[in-house]
Amino acid sequence: APVIGVLALQGDVREHVAALAAAGADARPVRRPSELDAVDGLVIPGGESTTISKLADIFEMREPIDKRIADGMPVYGSCAGMIMLATEVLDGRPDQRGFAGIEMTVRRNAFGRQVDSFEAPVEIAGVPGEPFHAVFIRAPWVERVGAAVQVIGKVTGGPAAERIVAVRQGNLLATSFHPELTGDLRVHAYFVELVRAA
């Protein structure tokens, strides 16, 4: 089974480890460079991107992760993890910094200006079956994508209709929502396959 780490600096690490394991990965938390060396892919969980950014420096994980991304390691970022994969962040803190990532502009806490948390159906290209019952918690949305980025998911209805909430650029995958909280393993299974293929 592909070995997939979950960046365990802050956020909902356990939920991602459980979802990855259920989707067929050998999943483990990762907080040291030596632990990163041992994985084939990485998940950056939901949480607080400003904190993850700070802790990435303190734990000396920034450079090793940038390097692995440059070498093609698959990474999936959910919510705060999506923010950590963006090349540009709106409404971020001036000192927060992401990893060498997806060429896109995300707006932090974007939906939260109307409401903190909400749920909406999202269809993801390449993931068959019913639309996702997507859970958003102070989530970002994507306001701009570069030419290399594939938009794979948008909100399908309600006040946030058409907002971009799932993207892929090569081996990098990001969603605004939290599939690890709903027991729907399809995004994690999609990522496990991506890691297997890489």
Interaction site with ligand GLN (CB under 6 A): 46-49, 79-80, 83, 108-109, 137-138
Q: How many CB atoms lie within 10 A of CB 48?
A: 16
Question: What whole-number distance in Å separates Cα of residue 195 and Cα of residue 40?
Answer: 7
Q: Does 47 show up as a binding residue in the annotation?
A: yes
Residue partners of 27: CB distance under 8 A and separation at least 6? 3, 4, 5, 6, 16, 17, 18, 20, 21
| First-last CA distance in the chain | 13
Question: What whole-number distance in Å separates Cα of residue 21 and Cα of residue 4?
Answer: 9
Question: What whole-number distance in Å separates Cα of residue 171 and Cα of residue 73?
Answer: 7
Nearest approach, Cβ of residue 6 and ligand GLN (Å): 13
Question: What whole-number distance in Å separates Cα of residue 94 and Cα of residue 171?
Answer: 28
Of 2 and 106, nearer to ligand GLN (C-beta) is 106
Nearest approach, Cβ of residue 47 and ligand GLN (Å): 5
Of 111 and 190, nearer to ligand GLN (C-beta) is 111
Of 15, 16, 180, 188, the catalytic one is 180
Q: Does 49 show up as a binding residue in the annotation?
A: yes
Active site (annotated) includes residue 180:
yes
Residue 26 burial (CB < 10 Å; 0-12/13-18/19+)?
middle
Q: Does 137 show up as a binding residue in the annotation?
A: yes
Of 2 and 118, nearer to ligand GLN (C-beta) is 118
Nearest approach, Cβ of residue 46 and ligand GLN (Å): 3
Active site (annotated) includes residue 79:
yes
Of 67 and 138, nearer to ligand GLN (C-beta) is 138
**Which DSSP state fits 98?**
-
Of 103, 178, 188, 193, the catalytic one is 178
Nearest approach, Cβ of residue 89 and ligand GLN (Å): 8
Of 79, 103, 143, 193, the catalytic one is 79
Annotated catalytic sites, by residue?
Answer: 79, 178, 180
**Where is the binding site for L-glutamine, in residues?**
47-49, 108, 137-138
